[in-house]
Structure 1
């Protein structure tokens, strides 16, 4: 977790007592702007108003209310205006829900902070901070920007908001003597915006503010990404355009026929307007847009921040994952796993020798892993001979006792073994152990010691006659949950390819550990991939590990897999990964170690760099698409009979079935059901099986047949119920009530079957639909205002029977409770 240190900040890092002057603050604020990490959001009311004005129901209610007013029917005009209240309330609620993915982000940021300016300590709003400010943080404080620690008193930081890892991270003051390059390496000197101090205190220099912070970059990338139109959105838009044209023509025809039948101008206009609103498929783009917002939020909970909305579609259809090893499948650190001491040496003795040969002040990961298990000696160091690439060892000489020195060495096993007093058989035995460990994926070093008489030593590095102490085996541990995630992928048909720069033996060992190909991964060298692609492209589906790979080779692999109709997800963190990330169907940049260029082109930023998070995100994407299918199926099954009954009954010369107030009534049932019930249905434990189809197939032919059968059967039942209830006395209010009740019950029944009533929201909507319908119809005062009349028991029983019959068809068609392909 480090950033490049700005050049202009280096000279300020050494001064930990005085902050910026007022003039310097003003100049820097003019240059960098305010420390506005989340960005300046649109006015909540302004954005809500803009979204609401796009809702055709608003214009329908206003237009028909105006029409009634012009014709002198004040009561109907007022009722329609009152109906605006629940629609506006629902728009406000849904607007709030779509902002949920970023609404909680501000909780990870400080609101005020102590800063030293002109030699005085003052508390200011975090928005007033500028690069170069000297701030003070203590336990429980949130970091207000990306800053470099100058002084610390046991400072530990919780970085889980950015990394997903809950353990505390110890921070150390920046070493000004190391210079800018040293700062790049000293990740533990950085305290980033959105992280929280757990213990200790310190003074820090602000380096980056606002959108330039790591937190701000990711958040704003996610916000920008949600605005992109996806292929499915475009397809829905084309469908809506076609349906609008068809509905317009049908409405004109209906108005002309009603006028020709002698029903009057008002009847003709109301027939056309009511049919238009019933036929207008505005729910489809609204539901889809809402589900995209939900998808962004659900993926963010899985540590996957979405930059482009297309990923919400693609992530659930991934069939191949090309994943890095280090830091994604593994933890990205070395851990001491095995000690193999010599016969006459105890394990603790081996560790003591290794610790004596390690640098406690350095950054070498092997030294860090050793010193995590053993303590370096306190004896005075007489001489040190550091590790170099040509010598491949590190040697230190300590004063053991007066007149006696102890030399300790650790390094490449071949080098240390050659320095030891071993015969040929012993040497072969030790090297065989090294080879066996290396074959299992371990990084192996050897340790040795030598007692030296001070009188015989001239200060040169001892390089022979050592007593070998043993071997230490290190590994980059596999991340928790990766093996289970790979198993989920294997069961679901998702092919995982590990792309690594490691030696084939190491790559094979890691592939076995994580369960690639049931523990028997096929490994190939990256240099052989091009020949494989040219001779047998399909062979890529049988390759599990690509070793000795460089990032630029990923592009050819991605393109070859896409040519096989695979939906490819790729992980990357560097500039060289940019072509592959851009070409992939789902480009996943590493939030922790990824470069800004990689994050910029990727469609997802993974904040914890963990392979398990990728698999969880795929599961979320699959479930989201499945939920969207169910919502669209519900809309089609309900809208088809609504439109057909609204058109066929007036065309047949009957009195109008639906008045505008009835469309409002039904839409207040349909909208919440489609938007709220299906968007948060729980997922299955396992991933669905991938099919490798690049074209989205929303419904199977059999499912289209089921949707059509439900719509047509319900239309027949509604028309039959209307004709029966109308009777000889032409009691149109009774007929309307029968149809509306039957349609409401069918809505609740279809929703119950498709959703399985698996959430409290589904139960609430089902019960609310039935109870609300009963109250509105059976209360004489309300019924009269709504142009219906209370029903008899037999009417209710018939409506319930019709709703139950309708609900059976989706069950028979196997649309309920099924995860999409």
Structure 2
């Protein structure tokens, strides 16, 4: 992995002898801001208190306590007021957990750091560090900002907070700044990153990035931003909550009127309606969804994918097609000249010199870097640069003009088919070179051609010639696939995700690389972008379902392909790194910008920034997103399943004229079961990448399909029947409503455990803890006479326990089988 080093921030010097004075520190702080990776909330406790008090359950308990006090039931009123403590505590805990990603990241930030300023070592607050500062980090300490290491002694760093890598990483001192670029790419071997810890040795770090410009800062900013955005599914949830509230309000009014008509009195009618309102209130849905989004952003960051927009957490979990670049994403992105074939009567040195003159050291093009490296010993003295004609997608070549004595020397390089058309060649030579290019391309090389043209020097304005060049030969570059890509492509295939490689390379080159990584199961279908464009104009994009590689593509064609795939109901993820990729990145469901080589415009247009430009990281992020989406589905299934018997029994029993089934204190207990389960049990369940859905359903995918709804409906009604039967039969047999209420409460509690067992399959430690604690709590609440009495219940018989446990076991089995 590499990162850009803006040399002006460090005064173009790695020498420890240069350090900042106070005047320069003040100037740089005004320019770059404070080193605040996380902006601290001024009144964090007040904010937490406000968020907690917004929970309607708190106010329901206060109102219910007031009503019980009016009825002179002071013990019940006090119990309800005391119940605010666990409910409020649980709420505060869950609000805190919603921001757990940010808190976890912040915990690795240090408060103070040693810097060298004005030639003296001093301890300062970490937030006062500015780019250019020289920071001393010793073993056991955390890095306070992102910077290049200029001195290192036995430096081993724990970077698990950023990469998840458990093993220490060796760090080295950067000996010199690479010449030829204002922002050279520097390997992470030479970087110290905020939030990582130096395990052994000591380092001197020249600070480059502070605050939100650090890797940690970008992660934290993305997490915080996620919590502020409303996504499409959140809007859908808001509509669902509104509908449920309206329906619940109708039932509440109906229940109040019926209870009053039945002669239970006004207070009982109001209490019954209020109880049903709280039972039916779907507050867990939006809270759970927001929590899962925060978890998703943090986990994707651990997979080297920085999420910029929350909607991407939803979409990346539904991706069905990945349109990826080749160079640097599929391959390592480090070219070297593997084959150089000069034309007849052309010397090898002349071919390499022509290629060198046509290249620019500051272009950032890896081909230019490879050419300059292989031709570094060839003298270019006497060649005075006059004009550069940069590479464009239309021309597919780059030309540089030099003056050599009284001649203009035009050196050009680019696509072989283009250069062959502008060169003067002997009969049969064009076919010969085309065959040479094809042979090299079939071996997986990226091939370019070089040509030159000598013209008499003139004072007139220079224009790029487009004919009569002398063909100098071809250069073949190799850029092997990354080792992990083959496994990543296989994982995509297992998960039903198509991978489409869109590249500007020669079709033969692209086909060789595609076959090596397993596209098309080793026999990829390759077409040119020109042919794809023609087919799109003629009959739409149906043919894209059977294409693995599009070669010789320009950004505008990439944009058209993305739109065509979306028209086929694919959920499309697209990678890009340049200004020309912005339209495709914006058009995609998930735009993925390259963090190492990507331009700022591409990063701004993308919804996700990939830190290591690695296709394997894209697939890991998609897999993580799919698993997160699957776990969110399980959490919502649990909420719907557990609320069905809970809400229906709370509604039907009073409507039938029987005493109120659940008092506020019972609701408190049941809510204490439900809240931690939906938030904590399902968010970390393990699993492989779930299979993608069928093409027709991809774009209009919802949380549940008809089979899910039928399964949940039948299970919910079955559980409701158990709860109702437990109450009514007990009331019929004993005539004691306290025993009947205990049986119903026990049935609801066991249903909660059964649904948790069936959906989670106890795959996580949290699930096992929740089940054990829930069972222990049920035993205490219904079997200990003193406690049960306070809850207006009497302990059920052993036979009742046996029957309900058996029926709940059946519920768990049915849930695992059909939910």
Instruction: Quickly name the TM-score band, shorter chain normalised.
Output: 0.7 to 0.9
Distance 1:677 1:205 in 2: 44
Task: Tell me the CA shift for residue 433 of structure 1.
Answer: 8.7
Residues in 2 aligned to 1:164 and 1:669: alpha-carbon distance in whole angstroms? 33
Q: Quick one: structure 1 residues 764 and 509, their matched pair in 2 at CA, closer, same or farther if it must change by over 3 Å?
A: same
Q: Tell me, in whole angstroms, the C-alpha distance in 1 between the residues paired with 2:727 and 2:163.
A: 61
- Alpha carbons of 1:728 and 1:490: their partners in 2 closer, same or farther (altered >3 Å)? closer
1:739 paired with 2:744, answer: yes
Show the counterpart of 2:240. 239
Structure 1 residue aligned with 2:768: 763
Cα deviation for residue 241 of structure 1 reads 0.7
Q: Is the 8 A contact 1:101 1:300 kept in 2?
A: no
Q: CA deviation at 1:140?
A: 6.8
How far apart in 1 are the matches of 2:743 and 2:159?
Answer: 60
In 2, distance between residues paired with 1:386 and 1:103?
61
Query: Do residues 112 (structure 1) and 112 (structure 2) align?
Result: yes
- Name structure 1 gaps, 5 residues minimum: 341-353, 393-410, 415-427, 447-470, 816-821
Distance in 1 between the 2:160 and 2:676 partners? 35
Write the mapping of 1:262-661 to structure 2, written as runs, cut at 5 A.
262-334=263-335, 436-442=439-445, 475-537=478-540, 538-661=542-665
What displacement does 1:10 show? 7.2
Cα gap change, 1:434/1:790 in structure 2, threshold over 3 Å: closer, same or farther? same
Give the match for residue 462 of structure 1. none
**How far apart, CA to CA, are the structure 2 residues paired with 1:794 and 1:57?**
35
SS in 2 for 1:182: coil
The separation in 2 between residues aligned to 1:192 and 1:139, in whole angstroms, is 13
Q: Using a 3 Å threshold, how does the CA distance of structure 1 residues 441 and 12 change in structure 2: closer, same or farther?
A: closer
Counterparts of 2:754 and 2:557, CA distance in 1: 54
- Contact 1:657 1:736 (8 Å CA) reproduced: yes
Confirm or deny: 8 A CA contact 1:497 1:543 kept in the other structure: yes
Counterparts of 2:635 and 2:784, CA distance in 1: 31
* Residue 108 to residue 370, structure 1, CA distance change in 2 (3 Å): farther
3-state SS in 2 of match to 1:479: coil
Aligned partners of 2:611, 2:207: CA distance in 1, in Å? Answer: 22
Q: What is residue 131 of structure 1 aligned with on the other side?
A: 131
Q: Is the 8 A contact 1:494 1:690 kept in 2?
A: no
**Deviation of residue 786 (structure 1)?**
0.9
Correspondence 1:25 to 2:25? yes
Give the 3 Å change call, closer, same or farther, for CA 499–737 of structure 1 in structure 2.
Answer: same
| Residues 551-584 of structure 1: per-residue CA shift (max 9 Å, x gap) | 3432221111111111100111222222211221
Q: CA deviation at 1:228?
A: 1.4
CA shift for structure 1 position 278: 1.0
Name whichever of 14-23 and 595-604 sits farther off. 14-23
- Distance, in Å, in 2 between the alignment partners of 1:600 and 1:773 is 53
Greater Cα shift, 28-37 or 434-443: 434-443
CA 1:243/1:29 → structure 2, altered by over 3 Å: closer, same or farther?
same
CA distance in 2, matches of 1:48, 1:254: 35
In structure 1, the partner of 2:800 is 795
| Aligned-residue offset at 1:482 | 1.0
Q: TM-score, normalised by structure 1?
A: 0.80
SS at match of 1:183: coil
**Whole-angstrom CA distance in 2 between matches of 1:438 and 1:368:** 20
1:170·1:188 contact (CA, 8 Å) conserved in 2?
A: no
Hey, what's the Cα distance between the residues in 2 that align with 1:719 and 1:445? 78
Aligned to 1:187: 186
Distance 2:26 2:659 in 1: 74
Distance 2:369 2:439 in 1: 24
Question: Matches of 2:511 and 2:743 in 1, distance apart?
Answer: 69
- Report the Cα distance in structure 1 between the residues aligned to 2:551 and 2:382, rounded to whole angstroms: 31
Structure 1 CA distance for aligned equivalents of residues 131 and 682 of structure 2 = 46
TM-superposed CA distance for 1:154, in Å, is: 9.8
SS at match of 1:524: strand
Q: In 2, distance between residues paired with 1:665 and 1:528? A: 66
Q: What is the CA distance between 1:645 and its match in structure 2?
A: 1.2
**How many pairs are equivalent?**
738
Q: Secondary structure at the match of 2:702?
A: coil
Q: Which deviates more, 690-699 or 766-775?
A: 690-699
The 3 A distance-change label for structure 1 pair 332 and 810 is: same
Are the structure 2 counterparts of residues 14 and 732 from structure 1 closer, same or farther at C-alpha, using a change threshold of 3 Å?
closer
Task: Answer whether contact 1:227 1:308 (CA < 8 A) is retained.
Answer: no
Alpha-carbon separation, structure 2, partners of 1:157 and 1:435? 47
CA contact (8 A) 1:279 1:643 kept: yes
Quote the Cα distance in structure 2 between the aligned partners of 1:579 and 1:673: 43
Aligned 8 A contact 1:319 1:495 in 2 = yes
The whole-number CA distance in structure 2 between the counterparts of 1:590 and 1:162 is 17
Give SS of 1:553's match: helix
Aligned to 2:86: 86
Equivalent-residue separation in structure 2 for 1:654 and 1:339 (angstroms):
92
8 Å contact from structure 2 (residues 49, 92) kept in 1? no
Question: Does 1:227 pair with 2:228?
Answer: yes
Give the structure 2 partner of residue 463 of structure 1: none
Q: Summarize the Cα distance change of 1:221–1:391 in structure 2 as closer, same or farther, 3 Å threshold.
A: closer
Question: Residues 727-771 of structure 1, C-alpha deviation per residue, up to 9 Å, x if partnerless?
Answer: 366311101001011111122112211222222222222222222
Q: Secondary structure at the match of 1:305?
A: strand
* 1:704-715 correspondence runs (5 A): 704-715=709-720
Q: Distance in 1 between matches of 2:117 and 2:320?
A: 56
- In 1, Cα distance between equivalents of 2:198 and 2:733: 79
Per the TM alignment, residue 132 of structure 1 is displaced from its structure 2 partner at its CA by: 3.9
Cα distance, 1:641 vs. partner?
A: 1.7
Q: What is the deviation of 1:800?
A: 2.0
The answer as to whether partners of 1:649 and 1:656 remain within 8 angstroms in 2 is yes
Aligned residue runs from structure 1 range 635-784, under 5 A: 635-684=639-688, 687-688=691-692, 691=695, 693-727=698-732, 730-784=735-789
Report how far residue 597 of structure 1 moved. 2.6
Deviation of 1:240 after TM superposition, in Å, equals: 0.9
Aligned to 2:73: 73
Aligned mates of 1:513, 1:241 — CA distance in 2: 53
TM-score by length of 2: 0.80
Q: Distance in 2 between matches of 1:664 and 1:23?
A: 60
Specify the SS of the correspondent of 1:327.
coil
For residues 648 and 795 of structure 2, the distance between their equivalents in structure 1, rounded to whole angstroms, comes to 25
Matches of 1:615 and 1:740, distance apart in 2: 46
Contact in 2 for aligned 1:211/1:217 (Cα 8 Å): yes
Between the aligned partners of 2:520 and 2:240, the Cα distance in structure 1 is 43
Deviations 1:607-652 (A, max 9, x none): 2221112112222222222222222222222212211111111111
* 1:290-318 residue CA offsets vs partner (Å, 9 max, x unmatched): 22222223322322222222122111211
Query: What is residue 421 of structure 1 aligned with on the other side?
Result: none
1:464-515 CA-to-partner distances (Å, cap 9, x unmatched) read: xxxxxxx998532211221111122223332111112222221111111111
Contact 1:157–1:170 (CA<8 Å) still a contact in 2? no
Distance 1:86 1:61, change over 3 A: same
Map Cα deviations across residues 110-129 of structure 1 (whole Å, 9 max, x no partner): 54333232332222222111
Match of 1:404 in 2: none
- From the superposition, tell whether residues 502 and 701 of structure 1 become closer, same or farther in structure 2 (CA, over 3 Å): same
**1:437 and 1:158, CA in 2 relative to 1: closer, same or farther beyond 3 A?**
farther
Q: Does the 8 A contact of 1:754 with 1:810 survive in 2?
A: yes
| Residue 275 of structure 1: how far off its partner (Å) | 0.9
CA RMSD of aligned residues (A): 4.2
In 2, Cα distance between equivalents of 1:541 and 1:610: 24
| Residue in 2 that maps onto 1:57 | 57
TM-aligned CA deviation for residue 161 of structure 1: 6.6
Quickly say closer, same or farther: Cα 1:18–1:683, change in 2 above 3 A: same
User: How far apart are residue 234 of structure 1 and its match?
Assistant: 1.0
